[in-house]
Amino acid sequence: MNATSHTATLRDGTRIGYTIHGPADAAARTDLPRVALIHSLALDRGIWEGVCEILAGRTLLLALDCRGHGASDKPPGPYTAEGFAEDLAEVLDHAGWPRAVVAGCSMGGTVALAFACAFPGRTAALVPIDTTAWYGPDGPANWRARAAKAEAEGMAALEGFQAERWFNPAFSAANPEVLARWLGVFRRNDVRAYAAACAMLGAADLRARLAGIAAPTFVAVGEEDHATPPAMAEAIVASIPGAALTILQGARHITPVERSGQIAALLARAIAAAL
Protein backbone atom coordinates (compact mmCIF):
# COMPACT_ATOMS: atom_id res chain seq x y z
CA MET A 1 0.00 0.00 0.00
CA ASN A 2 1.16 3.52 -0.84
CA ALA A 3 0.12 6.41 1.41
CA THR A 4 0.88 10.07 0.69
CA SER A 5 0.02 12.97 2.99
CA HIS A 6 -1.14 16.35 1.71
CA THR A 7 -2.42 19.68 2.97
CA ALA A 8 -5.22 21.62 1.27
CA THR A 9 -5.64 25.31 2.04
CA LEU A 10 -9.33 26.16 1.81
CA ARG A 11 -10.85 29.40 0.57
CA ASP A 12 -11.14 30.72 4.13
CA GLY A 13 -7.46 29.94 4.80
CA THR A 14 -8.05 26.83 6.92
CA ARG A 15 -5.47 24.10 6.27
CA ILE A 16 -6.87 20.56 6.08
CA GLY A 17 -4.60 17.54 6.28
CA TYR A 18 -5.44 14.43 4.31
CA THR A 19 -3.88 11.16 3.20
CA ILE A 20 -4.43 9.25 -0.04
CA HIS A 21 -4.03 5.48 0.22
CA GLY A 22 -3.71 3.30 -2.86
CA PRO A 23 -1.66 0.72 -4.71
CA ALA A 24 2.02 1.34 -5.34
CA ASP A 25 1.34 2.16 -9.00
CA ALA A 26 -1.55 4.54 -8.22
CA ALA A 27 0.05 7.47 -10.05
CA ALA A 28 -0.16 5.57 -13.33
CA ARG A 29 -3.71 4.31 -12.80
CA THR A 30 -6.77 6.16 -14.05
CA ASP A 31 -9.19 3.28 -13.59
CA LEU A 32 -9.21 3.10 -9.79
CA PRO A 33 -12.43 3.81 -7.87
CA ARG A 34 -12.20 6.68 -5.39
CA VAL A 35 -13.48 6.73 -1.82
CA ALA A 36 -13.55 9.70 0.58
CA LEU A 37 -13.49 8.89 4.32
CA ILE A 38 -14.64 11.19 7.14
CA HIS A 39 -13.82 10.39 10.77
CA SER A 40 -15.78 10.61 14.01
CA LEU A 41 -15.87 13.38 16.59
CA ALA A 42 -12.63 14.04 18.51
CA LEU A 43 -10.66 11.38 16.61
CA ASP A 44 -8.84 11.68 13.28
CA ARG A 45 -8.26 10.12 9.86
CA GLY A 46 -6.36 7.22 11.44
CA ILE A 47 -9.59 5.40 12.28
CA TRP A 48 -9.66 4.30 8.62
CA GLU A 49 -6.21 2.72 8.52
CA GLY A 50 -7.43 -0.87 8.87
CA VAL A 51 -10.05 -0.35 6.16
CA CYS A 52 -7.46 1.24 3.87
CA GLU A 53 -5.04 -1.64 4.34
CA ILE A 54 -7.70 -4.01 3.03
CA LEU A 55 -8.89 -1.91 0.07
CA ALA A 56 -5.86 0.10 -1.03
CA GLY A 57 -4.57 -2.58 -3.41
CA ARG A 58 -7.46 -1.85 -5.76
CA THR A 59 -8.90 1.50 -4.63
CA LEU A 60 -7.84 5.09 -4.00
CA LEU A 61 -8.98 6.22 -0.55
CA LEU A 62 -8.79 9.79 0.73
CA ALA A 63 -9.02 10.19 4.51
CA LEU A 64 -9.03 13.73 5.88
CA ASP A 65 -8.81 15.37 9.29
CA CYS A 66 -11.88 17.58 9.63
CA ARG A 67 -11.33 21.17 10.69
CA GLY A 68 -10.79 21.34 14.42
CA HIS A 69 -9.29 17.83 14.46
CA GLY A 70 -6.00 16.03 14.04
CA ALA A 71 -3.38 17.78 11.93
CA SER A 72 -5.88 20.24 10.44
CA ASP A 73 -6.27 23.82 11.62
CA LYS A 74 -8.55 24.51 14.55
CA PRO A 75 -10.32 27.77 13.80
CA PRO A 76 -13.01 29.03 16.15
CA GLY A 77 -16.60 28.02 15.50
CA PRO A 78 -19.39 27.97 14.81
CA TYR A 79 -19.11 24.76 12.80
CA THR A 80 -21.90 23.19 10.75
CA ALA A 81 -22.33 19.82 9.05
CA GLU A 82 -22.92 21.67 5.79
CA GLY A 83 -19.70 23.63 6.30
CA PHE A 84 -17.74 20.42 6.88
CA ALA A 85 -19.29 19.04 3.68
CA GLU A 86 -18.04 22.11 1.81
CA ASP A 87 -14.60 21.52 3.31
CA LEU A 88 -14.63 18.00 1.88
CA ALA A 89 -15.62 19.33 -1.54
CA GLU A 90 -12.63 21.69 -1.48
CA VAL A 91 -10.30 18.89 -0.40
CA LEU A 92 -11.56 16.74 -3.27
CA ASP A 93 -10.88 19.67 -5.60
CA HIS A 94 -7.33 19.88 -4.22
CA ALA A 95 -6.86 16.16 -4.89
CA GLY A 96 -8.34 16.47 -8.39
CA TRP A 97 -11.29 14.20 -7.61
CA PRO A 98 -14.53 15.29 -9.27
CA ARG A 99 -16.53 12.46 -7.68
CA ALA A 100 -16.17 9.76 -5.02
CA VAL A 101 -17.91 7.20 -2.88
CA VAL A 102 -18.38 9.14 0.36
CA ALA A 103 -18.25 7.34 3.71
CA GLY A 104 -18.26 8.68 7.24
CA CYS A 105 -18.39 7.34 10.77
CA SER A 106 -20.43 9.03 13.54
CA MET A 107 -19.83 12.78 13.07
CA GLY A 108 -18.34 11.85 9.72
CA GLY A 109 -21.53 10.04 8.76
CA THR A 110 -23.59 13.15 9.46
CA VAL A 111 -21.16 15.13 7.30
CA ALA A 112 -21.40 12.46 4.57
CA LEU A 113 -25.19 12.83 4.57
CA ALA A 114 -24.80 16.62 4.31
CA PHE A 115 -22.34 16.18 1.43
CA ALA A 116 -24.72 13.90 -0.49
CA CYS A 117 -27.49 16.48 -0.05
CA ALA A 118 -25.33 19.43 -1.13
CA PHE A 119 -23.23 17.74 -3.84
CA PRO A 120 -25.34 14.99 -5.43
CA GLY A 121 -23.30 15.02 -8.63
CA ARG A 122 -20.10 14.36 -6.70
CA THR A 123 -21.51 11.51 -4.60
CA ALA A 124 -21.02 8.23 -6.46
CA ALA A 125 -22.35 6.25 -3.50
CA LEU A 126 -22.96 6.99 0.16
CA VAL A 127 -21.93 4.98 3.23
CA PRO A 128 -23.14 6.49 6.54
CA ILE A 129 -21.72 4.43 9.46
CA ASP A 130 -22.70 4.55 13.16
CA THR A 131 -24.44 7.86 12.64
CA THR A 132 -27.64 9.86 12.53
CA ALA A 133 -29.31 12.67 10.61
CA TRP A 134 -30.70 14.12 13.87
CA TYR A 135 -29.96 13.57 17.54
CA GLY A 136 -33.52 14.34 18.59
CA PRO A 137 -35.12 17.16 20.57
CA ASP A 138 -32.72 16.70 23.47
CA GLY A 139 -29.67 16.71 21.19
CA PRO A 140 -28.68 20.37 21.60
CA ALA A 141 -28.83 20.25 25.40
CA ASN A 142 -27.02 16.91 25.61
CA TRP A 143 -24.19 18.08 23.36
CA ARG A 144 -23.90 21.39 25.20
CA ALA A 145 -23.54 19.48 28.47
CA ARG A 146 -20.78 17.30 27.04
CA ALA A 147 -18.90 20.31 25.71
CA ALA A 148 -19.30 22.13 29.02
CA LYS A 149 -17.79 19.19 30.91
CA ALA A 150 -14.76 19.18 28.62
CA GLU A 151 -14.35 22.93 28.96
CA ALA A 152 -14.60 22.81 32.76
CA GLU A 153 -12.65 19.63 33.51
CA GLY A 154 -10.59 18.90 30.38
CA MET A 155 -10.92 16.19 27.76
CA ALA A 156 -9.63 13.51 30.15
CA ALA A 157 -12.85 13.84 32.16
CA LEU A 158 -14.73 12.22 29.29
CA GLU A 159 -12.33 9.34 28.58
CA GLY A 160 -14.25 6.66 30.46
CA PHE A 161 -17.53 7.67 28.85
CA GLN A 162 -15.97 7.54 25.39
CA ALA A 163 -14.11 4.26 25.88
CA GLU A 164 -17.30 2.48 26.91
CA ARG A 165 -19.13 3.78 23.86
CA TRP A 166 -16.46 3.33 21.21
CA PHE A 167 -15.76 -0.40 21.41
CA ASN A 168 -17.21 -3.62 22.73
CA PRO A 169 -15.48 -4.33 26.09
CA ALA A 170 -14.18 -7.66 24.78
CA PHE A 171 -12.49 -5.83 21.88
CA SER A 172 -10.92 -3.28 24.23
CA ALA A 173 -9.68 -6.02 26.55
CA ALA A 174 -8.12 -7.93 23.66
CA ASN A 175 -6.64 -4.80 22.07
CA PRO A 176 -5.51 -2.48 24.90
CA GLU A 177 -3.02 -0.72 22.64
CA VAL A 178 -5.83 0.25 20.26
CA LEU A 179 -7.93 1.72 23.04
CA ALA A 180 -4.89 3.55 24.44
CA ARG A 181 -4.12 5.04 21.03
CA TRP A 182 -7.57 6.50 20.57
CA LEU A 183 -7.87 7.74 24.12
CA GLY A 184 -4.61 9.59 23.49
CA VAL A 185 -5.99 11.19 20.33
CA PHE A 186 -9.16 12.13 22.21
CA ARG A 187 -7.24 13.64 25.12
CA ARG A 188 -5.15 15.85 22.80
CA ASN A 189 -8.16 17.58 21.27
CA ASP A 190 -8.38 21.36 21.24
CA VAL A 191 -11.20 21.94 23.73
CA ARG A 192 -12.65 24.95 21.94
CA ALA A 193 -12.78 23.12 18.63
CA TYR A 194 -14.31 20.10 20.38
CA ALA A 195 -17.02 22.30 21.89
CA ALA A 196 -17.76 23.81 18.47
CA ALA A 197 -18.07 20.33 16.93
CA CYS A 198 -20.37 19.24 19.77
CA ALA A 199 -22.62 22.25 19.11
CA MET A 200 -22.61 21.36 15.41
CA LEU A 201 -23.87 17.85 16.09
CA GLY A 202 -26.53 19.05 18.50
CA ALA A 203 -27.87 21.45 15.88
CA ALA A 204 -27.67 19.11 12.88
CA ASP A 205 -31.00 18.11 11.37
CA LEU A 206 -30.84 16.70 7.84
CA ARG A 207 -34.08 14.73 7.93
CA ALA A 208 -36.01 16.89 5.49
CA ARG A 209 -33.36 16.48 2.78
CA LEU A 210 -32.71 12.74 2.94
CA ALA A 211 -35.49 11.78 0.53
CA GLY A 212 -33.69 13.68 -2.22
CA ILE A 213 -30.55 11.54 -2.01
CA ALA A 214 -30.34 9.42 -5.17
CA ALA A 215 -26.88 7.90 -4.70
CA PRO A 216 -26.71 4.18 -3.84
CA THR A 217 -26.69 4.21 -0.03
CA PHE A 218 -25.35 1.59 2.35
CA VAL A 219 -25.94 2.29 6.04
CA ALA A 220 -24.14 0.37 8.80
CA VAL A 221 -24.42 0.44 12.58
CA GLY A 222 -23.11 -1.55 15.50
CA GLU A 223 -25.74 -3.69 17.17
CA GLU A 224 -24.62 -2.34 20.57
CA ASP A 225 -24.09 1.26 19.49
CA HIS A 226 -25.32 3.39 22.40
CA ALA A 227 -24.31 6.72 20.84
CA THR A 228 -26.30 6.38 17.59
CA PRO A 229 -28.45 3.28 18.15
CA PRO A 230 -29.77 1.08 15.34
CA ALA A 231 -33.08 2.96 15.42
CA MET A 232 -31.28 6.05 14.13
CA ALA A 233 -29.76 4.04 11.28
CA GLU A 234 -33.19 2.61 10.50
CA ALA A 235 -34.60 6.13 10.29
CA ILE A 236 -31.95 7.04 7.70
CA VAL A 237 -32.72 3.92 5.66
CA ALA A 238 -36.45 4.64 5.79
CA SER A 239 -35.85 8.13 4.42
CA ILE A 240 -33.43 7.45 1.53
CA PRO A 241 -34.96 5.57 -1.41
CA GLY A 242 -33.36 2.17 -1.91
CA ALA A 243 -30.97 2.46 1.05
CA ALA A 244 -29.70 -0.79 2.57
CA LEU A 245 -28.94 -1.45 6.24
CA THR A 246 -26.23 -3.64 7.78
CA ILE A 247 -26.27 -4.24 11.55
CA LEU A 248 -22.89 -5.41 12.85
CA GLN A 249 -23.56 -7.93 15.56
CA GLY A 250 -21.87 -7.21 18.89
CA ALA A 251 -20.16 -4.04 17.65
CA ARG A 252 -20.40 -0.58 19.15
CA HIS A 253 -19.73 2.89 17.80
CA ILE A 254 -16.37 3.11 15.99
CA THR A 255 -16.74 0.13 13.69
CA PRO A 256 -14.08 1.19 11.14
CA VAL A 257 -11.62 0.33 13.94
CA GLU A 258 -13.49 -2.49 15.67
CA ARG A 259 -14.73 -4.17 12.47
CA SER A 260 -12.38 -3.02 9.72
CA GLY A 261 -13.01 -6.10 7.56
CA GLN A 262 -16.77 -5.74 7.60
CA ILE A 263 -16.61 -2.02 6.87
CA ALA A 264 -14.18 -2.67 4.00
CA ALA A 265 -16.62 -5.23 2.59
CA LEU A 266 -19.44 -2.70 2.83
CA LEU A 267 -17.35 -0.11 1.00
CA ALA A 268 -16.60 -2.69 -1.68
CA ARG A 269 -20.37 -3.11 -2.16
CA ALA A 270 -20.77 0.65 -2.47
CA ILE A 271 -17.92 0.84 -5.00
CA ALA A 272 -19.55 -1.89 -7.08
CA ALA A 273 -22.88 -0.08 -7.01
CA ALA A 274 -21.20 3.15 -8.10
CA LEU A 275 -19.49 1.67 -11.15
8-48, pLDDT tens digit by residue?
999 999 999 999 999 988 767 778 999 999 999 999 999 99
User: What local confidence, expressed as pLDDT, does residue 68 receive?
Assistant: 98
Among residues of the chain, what percentage have pLDDT more than 70?
Answer: 99
- What are 130-141's pLDDT values in tens digits? 999 999 999 999
Residue 155 has pLDDT above 90, yes or no: yes
- Average pLDDT of the chain? 97
Give the DSSP letter string of 199-227: HHHHH-B-GGGGGG--S-BEEEEETT-SS
Residue 30: its pLDDT value, please?
78
**Average confidence (pLDDT) over 201-218:** 98
Which domains are seen in the chain, by residue range? 2-135+204-274 (3.40.50.1820)
Q: What distance in Å separates the CA atoms of residue 74 and residue 191, rounded to the nearest whole number?
A: 10
Model pLDDT, residue 24: 80
Residue from 88, 33, 32, 39 nearest 267 by CA: 33
pTM of the model: 0.98
Q: How much is the pLDDT for 1?
A: 75
